[in-house]
Structure 1
């Protein structure tokens, strides 16, 4: 049936080549002229369905269409954007003037002839490089087949997701809704034509969510990108599987109409990074500015989340630690084991410092294997938890990503203790463990030329190769190189970062395999994790090469992040709260939902990129992420998890991957990692950033601020707290000369804080003197 649907879908394209739909309208010809550079043309149609089976597709000839049951008209407008010949604003209105139309949808298709299957195809948060890879399983987190173990030539392997076919002589059909994507868009890059294509559309019409379809013929020499109102899919995609969509096309009566809006870009591009950077530049141009709400000051979030973490410290047979999950088992890295300790250490509280020290002792003494790699988890009883194990292969394996986290965060803890004046608390055992882990990574790189996805902690052997599971390793090695004064590790870090950037980002336009519950699927965690590494290399080397690569990586991160405030069902939990979710970060192409924040990090490297470049798009990106996180936090007047006050959970669901009833509904639980990244954002991202020379400020916290005046004595700003909670706002102010120097990992210790009570407006004067920000504060009556 899928083949039959594909055949009907492609009829319109074939008809175009035979001259059967010579649409003479000037606006359409203008758009076709733009599309000609990529061998494209436009097709407008009405489709009739029986359930989700396509019965017919009838094409508009000029602006009219006569069917057996009704008369349609179509108004098409396309206008170039002044000064930007590569983009056109497009709107199309479809109207049934008379008669009826049963179970029908309208669609706009972009048909591309001379198509090349090597074209890079992107649908944000859903399809990367066409998802044109080997797929396994038919379920969530499928077991790896035997050929994936101890096999250096294993192909990149994903879960059962929508994808373009890798098999020869096989047609492809990707059916999505705008609920499956972070930005309602479809894009591709043609290396042969040296062109990029982006079409942005709206989330929905009054008929419901729009459909996004990509159909490629068996010869792989033609392809169609179609946007329909509404979405009518045969199958809906789940978490590594498919199920019947239950979509339904509406019945039309005389006078019914619907409109679709687009922005279409056809532009010069010499590489996949060019497409990614263009996407980041334009991703909000159709939806416009989003509207982040100030509802929860970062200081209040930090207070509540650290209080939760205090109550989650356990002493069990395995050891003493803060629980990273809702049970008493321990997971290292990934979902916040030995990460939630960092904000607790930053409290500078003796009791919590002793607890953090106890956890570091536990990790170092109980989890490090003979090779230097750590095991990924341990039960409260003391039994090691194996990961992604095939019964045919031993010994126990562990995620490379967890070891990358372990190295980075172990160094960060020791850096923070030194910066706080507690360097004597650092134990030789911790430093020896960090050295052994860094040496293990260097050994693996020198031996295998990559870090793999899973390793065996006893032997140090790569158990599963490929993927970008080592995304954070260069950051950890760069930090270890500086801490222990080992130049070899910095060289390995740079060589590895160049390798992953070239193989995964430049050639494939994705990073993946970073999560413990997916295959080697593209994911947001590796995307942002690799940005951590690129900014670490910029910090430790000062070389602009890393900054340039970081800008591309941030653009890739933006593809995973809601660029707009999606509409959720009015009766859903998110809908009732009127939450604005721009900035929620999608998980992976398998786990089809967004989450409040980056797993697991503050994303301070995005702020550092903003500071280094002055490009406000990066400030907007991390600002969106922080505000979306606050929308998911459980508060007395803003219930989300129905759990502890200040708790949060990982599910912001716009798709129907878990069923249509799940759209807009939170899950009633709490996730330590989302609470941890909230604490880290409150800690490592300033509430207000001020550039003294440019006389500009950017607000990340949930307050309003504006510059009132500026003179030789400093800058006076007004600060208003309209939330229901008192705020303690950190302020980072600096000159252009200070901005040039990369920001240290413990810079937040030097940011002064301003107390602003709920409902209060204050004025304060900022005057950097001798590198220290001085603040004068008084209440405005």
Structure 2
């Protein structure tokens, strides 16, 4: 379709109000030619949230009869980036008045295809063009999803393009819904990528992000509006009236929309994801993490909470994984929060960890080798998904994947601490049986599924990336138990998930117990764990290439900037810098402090192996956003709970209503405390490559190189916080960084004590030894 015909077709399809904008300065339109795209600048009037009219600027002025508008366009090339153009569209009401009016820029694309991959970070993946069920949080599965390998990937009721052919669709969002204010797509036929980046707000508040598609699904529109005026706001698997309101204008009122466009060659979805990771901060700019809570102080606070939550109940003894006395395995802390307690390396906690492992092995393992997902304190087993066809309880594949990984990590840590004699034969046999259950499932079905029956080993629900972490656990188990065939299964499974889910769909999902098979962050980060495990145990650098793509997908889930929250909200009052908060899923439209449930040390491992600073920056952001959510009385109250507690809600969107934006939920979540403990342990506070003078800081201290010579580096560590810090320092050469890091390497990192407000000098010799000066 030619460009003139495109405009005419867009008018006919209702996606454009005129085609005279071809007279506008052509720099942006010329830039968009490879995608057959045309930009328009619009004035939109509303009745409530109903669009009454859309008028498009034919040039630099628009007369609506009751008002005269001026458009001032400033387009700039982006230095060093020939595939980008920077645009600021200034709208001014020169004469008259305008009620209930918004302004927008829209880009209309012809030669569109429903096979194009569409992504809005943290809320839309592959256009969310999948079967949808329910109308609310965690909808029940229809019967056709059980025992059916052919059941399609199924999501809850989220903003989406039509899964059916011949139907129009519109996705209405505001910038607060996205981890980065961005809209992206990959043109499947022309192999071109498109990224639009914009800012969170104008003076009218959060801007709107809209993607619409005509009934023929051969043209689309991507629009940014100031402000957002949506009919419906997306919630947790449902929609509600947005309450958005377009502002009234008087003569002289003005507003600008700033955006940047990228059009680039992209052979596949991975290429688009990698490009997005490279540019995601380029419009919002560098974020400003605050150093407030040393990692060692957090570890002290959180392990105190966990230690005091060790219970003995009728069914057994364990660290509480929730706010009640029931036990849940994996996912949100069960047999995960025991790991940092073991890392404390004291006899009391070591015996408690052993008691929890005894309980898990004795009470939760089914005949197949798989484990049940939970058990009540009185001893009744809990199923994870109601099964309409069988009396057999189901369990999450995700929980079993976690169980295998954390069994193995516990064993490795016992050995590293010199307490291998405490590892019981029963524990090892349980882990061996679990690994074999995964191997058997793979051999029978060629996938791990989403839900299984622990007694029979049957897959109850197929599809999703619920087994994202399973290859990591299998790889460690293969080495530990000397079973090379297991490593081959891990290799095959990792390749399967990478090709089916990442390369072909640009998403991973379905490994949370409270969503359907929706795209989510937990599977994304969990799969990166597996890819780095494959690199560790095979030495094959092709896994690093896959891991870099996966890390880019992970980055789409993390806030890339410090959002502006309502000034009277709890987060607003504390002036929290929340870049790095990790969004949950396309159903659960909120961010959270940290990764559920992991330190993200695989990002650090990937940084060591590649030298790409983006991965170190991402994990630094995640760590610092976590600290912002930690309850620190008296001046930093987030949970109204124990010092060191935290909770899972950082809410930049109105998915739970406009009053929820920026407000914490006054409770605590064990899993957010657990991932904080893990970050404090498994990430170094300061990382140094001595020969390259490379310095990366994850802890809440300020560090700089004072001098260097052939014998040592001298660095200055300043602790600007109100707490004494015990900073882990990991130093090595660039050559040493090419060797994968053992899982328990953190045990050997030396610690440097730096009191609150103190500045200290340390020397690091060429062998990485730390000397306090």
Aligned runs of 1:469-618 on 2, under 5 Å?
Answer: 469-618=466-615
- Determine whether 1:774 maps to 2:769: yes
Inter-partner Cα distance in structure 1 for 2:9 and 2:300: 55
Task: Indicate if the aligned counterparts of 1:15 and 1:21 stay in contact, CA closer than 8 A.
Answer: no
Inter-partner Cα distance in structure 2 for 1:494 and 1:472: 12
Choose the corresponding residue for 1:254, options 251, 257, 282.
251
**1:24-55 CA deviation, whole Å, 9 max, x = no partner?**
32xxx111111010110101100000000000
Inter-partner Cα distance in structure 2 for 1:23 and 1:341: 66
Inter-partner Cα distance in structure 2 for 1:331 and 1:11: 55
Q: Which residue is equivalent to 2:680?
A: 682
Choose the corresponding residue for 1:744, options 742, 751, 770.
742
Report the Cα offset of residue 13 of structure 1.
Answer: 7.6
Inter-partner Cα distance in structure 2 for 1:318 and 1:331: 13
Q: Which residue is equivalent to 1:334?
A: 331
Q: Which residue is equivalent to 2:3?
A: none
Secondary structure, aligned partner of 2:636: coil
Inter-partner Cα distance in structure 1 for 2:300 and 2:504: 44
Report the Cα offset of residue 167 of structure 1.
Answer: 1.2
Inter-partner Cα distance in structure 2 for 1:20 and 1:205: 27
Q: Which residue is equivalent to 2:340?
A: 343
- Determine whether 1:284 maps to 2:258: no
Choose the corresponding residue for 1:671, options 663, 669, 672.
669
**1:666-706 CA deviation, whole Å, 9 max, x = no partner?**
00000000000000000000000000110111000000000
Report the Cα offset of residue 18 of structure 1.
Answer: 7.3
Q: Which residue is equivalent to 2:461?
A: 464
Q: Which residue is equivalent to 1:4?
A: none
Task: Indicate if the aligned counterparts of 1:537 and 1:546 stay in contact, CA closer than 8 A.
Answer: yes
- The alignment's TM-score, normalised by the length of structure 2, stands at 0.98
- Determine whether 1:267 maps to 2:291: no
Inter-partner Cα distance in structure 2 for 1:702 and 1:8: 57
Choose the corresponding residue for 1:625, options 622, 626, 646.
622
Secondary structure, aligned partner of 2:478: helix
- The alignment's TM-score, normalised by the length of structure 1, stands at 0.97
Secondary structure, aligned partner of 1:21: helix
Greater Cα offset, 570-579 or 383-392: 383-392
Secondary structure, aligned partner of 2:21: coil
Going from structure 1 to structure 2, the CA distance change for 1:13 and 1:109 (only over 3 Å counts) comes to: farther
Task: Indicate if the aligned counterparts of 2:18 and 2:56 stay in contact, CA closer than 8 A.
Answer: no
Choose the corresponding residue for 2:357, options 347, 356, 360.
360
Report the Cα offset of residue 768 of structure 1.
Answer: 4.6
Task: Indicate if the aligned counterparts of 1:13 and 1:43 stay in contact, CA closer than 8 A.
Answer: no
Report the Cα offset of residue 740 of structure 1.
Answer: 1.1
Report the Cα offset of residue 10 of structure 1.
Answer: 5.6
Structure 2 gaps of 5+ residues are: 1-6
Task: Indicate if the aligned counterparts of 1:8 and 1:56 stay in contact, CA closer than 8 A.
Answer: no
Task: Indicate if the aligned counterparts of 2:731 and 2:764 stay in contact, CA closer than 8 A.
Answer: yes
Secondary structure, aligned partner of 1:42: strand
Inter-partner Cα distance in structure 2 for 1:10 and 1:730: 59
Going from structure 1 to structure 2, the CA distance change for 1:420 and 1:8 (only over 3 Å counts) comes to: farther
Inter-partner Cα distance in structure 1 for 2:394 and 2:755: 51
Q: Which residue is equivalent to 2:238?
A: 241
Aligned runs of 1:129-278 on 2, under 5 Å?
Answer: 129-278=126-275
Inter-partner Cα distance in structure 2 for 1:444 and 1:676: 30
Q: Which segments of structure 1 move beyond 6 Å, counting only runs of 4 or more?
A: 12-18
Inter-partner Cα distance in structure 1 for 2:15 and 2:230: 23
Inter-partner Cα distance in structure 2 for 1:36 and 1:643: 56
**1:435-480 CA deviation, whole Å, 9 max, x = no partner?**
0000000000010000000000000000000000000000000000
Q: Which residue is equivalent to 2:24?
A: 24
Report the Cα offset of residue 414 of structure 1.
Answer: 0.5
Secondary structure, aligned partner of 2:440: helix
Choose the corresponding residue for 2:724, options 726, 732, 743.
726
Inter-partner Cα distance in structure 2 for 1:12 and 1:754: 69
Choose the corresponding residue for 2:319, options 315, 319, 322.
322
**1:375-434 CA deviation, whole Å, 9 max, x = no partner?**
000000100011111343331000000000000000000000001000000000000001
Secondary structure, aligned partner of 2:769: strand
Q: Which residue is equivalent to 1:692?
A: 690
Secondary structure, aligned partner of 2:264: strand
Task: Indicate if the aligned counterparts of 2:232 and 2:239 stay in contact, CA closer than 8 A.
Answer: yes
Inter-partner Cα distance in structure 1 for 2:442 and 2:420: 31
Secondary structure, aligned partner of 1:679: helix
- Determine whether 1:426 maps to 2:415: no
Q: Which residue is equivalent to 2:450?
A: 453
Secondary structure, aligned partner of 1:736: coil
Q: Which residue is equivalent to 1:84?
A: 81
Task: Indicate if the aligned counterparts of 1:8 and 1:54 stay in contact, CA closer than 8 A.
Answer: no
Task: Indicate if the aligned counterparts of 2:15 and 2:221 stay in contact, CA closer than 8 A.
Answer: no
Inter-partner Cα distance in structure 1 for 2:745 and 2:428: 22
Report the Cα offset of residue 371 of structure 1.
Answer: 0.1
Q: Which residue is equivalent to 2:642?
A: 644
Secondary structure, aligned partner of 2:52: strand
Inter-partner Cα distance in structure 1 for 2:679 and 2:20: 57
Report the Cα offset of residue 737 of structure 1.
Answer: 1.8
Report the Cα offset of residue 69 of structure 1.
Answer: 1.5
Inter-partner Cα distance in structure 2 for 1:97 and 1:19: 23
- Determine whether 1:305 maps to 2:305: no
Report the Cα offset of residue 111 of structure 1.
Answer: 0.4
Report the Cα offset of residue 746 of structure 1.
Answer: 0.3
Secondary structure, aligned partner of 1:531: helix
Aligned runs of 1:71-110 on 2, under 5 Å?
Answer: 71-110=68-107
**1:261-300 CA deviation, whole Å, 9 max, x = no partner?**
0110000000000000000000001111110000000000
Task: Indicate if the aligned counterparts of 1:182 and 1:561 stay in contact, CA closer than 8 A.
Answer: yes
Matched positions, count: 766
Report the Cα offset of residue 14 of structure 1.
Answer: 6.4
Task: Indicate if the aligned counterparts of 2:131 and 2:154 stay in contact, CA closer than 8 A.
Answer: yes
Inter-partner Cα distance in structure 2 for 1:556 and 1:658: 26
**1:517-551 CA deviation, whole Å, 9 max, x = no partner?**
00000000000000000000000011001100000
Secondary structure, aligned partner of 2:170: strand
Q: Which residue is equivalent to 1:3?
A: none
Alpha-carbon RMSD: 1.4
Task: Indicate if the aligned counterparts of 2:143 and 2:388 stay in contact, CA closer than 8 A.
Answer: no
Task: Indicate if the aligned counterparts of 1:10 and 1:215 stay in contact, CA closer than 8 A.
Answer: no
Report the Cα offset of residue 19 of structure 1.
Answer: 4.1
Inter-partner Cα distance in structure 2 for 1:121 and 1:351: 52
Report the Cα offset of residue 736 of structure 1.
Answer: 1.5
Going from structure 1 to structure 2, the CA distance change for 1:9 and 1:632 (only over 3 Å counts) comes to: farther
Inter-partner Cα distance in structure 2 for 1:42 and 1:13: 16
Inter-partner Cα distance in structure 1 for 2:22 and 2:330: 59
Task: Indicate if the aligned counterparts of 1:12 and 1:43 stay in contact, CA closer than 8 A.
Answer: no
Inter-partner Cα distance in structure 1 for 2:499 and 2:757: 51
Inter-partner Cα distance in structure 1 for 2:18 and 2:759: 68
Report the Cα offset of residue 724 of structure 1.
Answer: 0.3
Going from structure 1 to structure 2, the CA distance change for 1:10 and 1:657 (only over 3 Å counts) comes to: farther
